[in-house]
Structure 1
Amino acid sequence: MGVLSNKIAREELKPGDHIYSWRTAYIYAHHGIYVGNSMVIHFTRAAGQEIGTGTFLDKLLLSSSPSPTGAICPVCGDQSKLHGVIRSCLDCFLARGKLYIFEYSVSPALFIAKVRGGTCTLASSDPSEEVLHRAESLFDKGFGMYNLFKNNCEDFAIYCKTGLLIETTYSVGRSGQLSAFTAAASTVMSSPLRFLTTSTGGLMVMVGGMYSISRFIADVGIRRDAVKVPVERLVMVEATQHVEVKK
């Protein structure tokens, strides 16, 4: 993989790979775990509800669910109304997008060079059999409530690959996309008038440095609030919550 693109050919895929596909003019990417036989397990809110803000943004961004085209997929059937952890064929997962692979154990230099968030992490991946075990377990039992900031499709895929969850309740999840957006927003908010006397080149270097540092310290690979959680414990919590809701 290079600095500019993580694109991969279908024939290069291996079970346990974390893959993604860009949506809506590269505004965001949808993530999942390739499980072999051209199938992907992924986490979605629901058709038309990718971010669920209750604003016009919900209509602006396409759903992470396989997009309804009027034709029913002969492999998946009609998945346009499904939500939670679902299994889809690779074509439905991609929704006409291109295929990319998420990179693990990248060097700090490469992480910073890949300016766009949601493409790589400093964290290490577990062996593929552990990744597949987590994905299959969560396909059966669920991954909790979808939340754009704390529990989205990228968070799901990263958990399957690493077993890492964020233990603090006030911060964003593991998603590199959200970390990048947050870093960009904080950089803009903190690029104040005191920098106006700085040359244009110096200002760009300063702002770029602030953005890179913000992304770096938010990565799941170095966060102190990222803890390893066995999938059995996660499944048990999900099952308990499901019983409480039914009561």
Structure 2
Amino acid sequence: MGLLSNRIGKGSLKPGDHIYSWRTAYVYAHHGIYVGDDKVIHFTRGRGEEVGTGTVLDLLLVSSGPKRNRTPCATCSAHLAESHGVVSSCLDCFLAGGVLYRFEYSVSPALFLAKARGGTCTLAVSDLDEIVVHRAKHLLNNGFRCYNVFKNNCEDFAIYCKTGLLVAEQGVVGQSGQTISIIGGPLAAVLSTPFRLLTTNVYGMAATAVGVYCASRYVADIGNRRDVLKVAVEDLTAGLAAGRVQVVDNGSQMALPANQMALPANG
């Protein structure tokens, strides 16, 4: 993989890889976990289910799942015809004619900032591949909350499978890097406005906006955030079934609402 692209060949895939493929003219990518035997487990929204923004973005971000104009293969058609929640499909149906990319973990701060597009890498450390596959298969059978493009999307699902981390407060955004990028652009423009008084040079203003954008991405990355919890997948799904999440933190077990887990993982 190069500095500017995470594109890979199918031959280099291994179980536990977090993979993705761009949709909607590179506006949004669909993410999943490769589990071996040409299978990918991924998180989709159901037919007719709103994307979750309540804005014009709903017209663009409609492809967190296989392209609707591509007929799934005979093996996958039964699973994807009424796809919702966590599903399994073959690699080709997951890609839906798109290009294969691998999401990178444990990247250096310099590389993270060099990859200006969010949703391609993280500073966070991945767990062992066998743990990642176990989480994905467990969620396939037990579900992964309700789909929401900002709080609980396909990238959030894949990152959880890889790290076991969940954002504690289900407020504005989850841990999805591409969501942070979508929000970060307009946010950078707003936050950089006061600095425009310091320069009238268009290049200076652009550099300021880019700097604010990169800083916001870096601070919001799941590897830097302190509002996260390490949640065992069995505890997560048991809590979802009961409407609450049992979290073990510093040796203490606490019952928290499934949609508001408020204890930081690292203090």
1:64-79 mapped onto 2 (5 Å cutoff): 64-69=64-69, 71-78=71-78, 79=80
From 200, 209, 212, the counterpart of 2:211: 209
Q: 1:170 Cα shift?
A: 2.3
* Percentage of identical aligned residues: 57
Unaligned runs of 5+ in 2: 245-267
| Matches of 2:238 and 2:18, distance apart in 1 | 24
Task: Name whichever of 152-161 and 41-50 sits farther off.
Answer: 41-50
Q: 1:50 Cα shift?
A: 6.8
In structure 2, do the counterparts of structure 1 residues 98 and 201 end up closer, same or farther at CA, with 3 Å as the change threshold? Answer: same
Task: Name whichever of 170-179 and 47-56 sits farther off.
Answer: 47-56
Q: C-alpha offsets along residues 54-86 of structure 1, whole Å, 9 cap, x if unaligned?
A: 555434444323234474512212413210000
| Matches of 1:108 and 1:44, distance apart in 2 | 30
State the match for 1:199 in structure 2: 201
1:140-219 mapped onto 2 (5 Å cutoff): 140-192=141-193, 195=196, 197-219=199-221
Please report the TM-score for the alignment, with normalisation by the length of structure 1. Answer: 0.91
| Matches of 1:198 and 1:89, distance apart in 2 | 53
State the match for 1:18 in structure 2: 18
Letter in 1 for 2:208: M
State the match for 1:239 in structure 2: 241
Q: 1:148 Cα shift?
A: 1.0
| Matches of 1:189 and 1:111, distance apart in 2 | 23
Q: Give the secondary-structure state (helix, strand or coil) at the position aligned to 2:15.
A: coil
Q: C-alpha offsets along residues 151-174 of structure 1, whole Å, 9 cap, x if unaligned?
A: 100000000000001112324101
In structure 2, do the counterparts of structure 1 residues 136 and 101 end up closer, same or farther at CA, with 3 Å as the change threshold? Answer: same
In structure 2, do the counterparts of structure 1 residues 74 and 112 end up closer, same or farther at CA, with 3 Å as the change threshold? Answer: same
Q: 1:192 Cα shift?
A: 2.1
Q: Give the secondary-structure state (helix, strand or coil) at the position aligned to 1:41.
A: strand
Over the aligned positions, Cα root-mean-square deviation in angstroms equals 1.9
State the match for 1:6 in structure 2: 6
State the match for 1:245 in structure 2: none
State the match for 1:118 in structure 2: 119
Q: 1:194 Cα shift?
A: 5.1
State the match for 2:256 in structure 1: none
| Matches of 1:3 and 1:172, distance apart in 2 | 27
| Matches of 1:40 and 1:80, distance apart in 2 | 16
Is contact 1:40-1:87 (8 Å) kept?
yes
Please report the TM-score for the alignment, with normalisation by the length of structure 2. Answer: 0.85
State the match for 2:223 in structure 1: 221
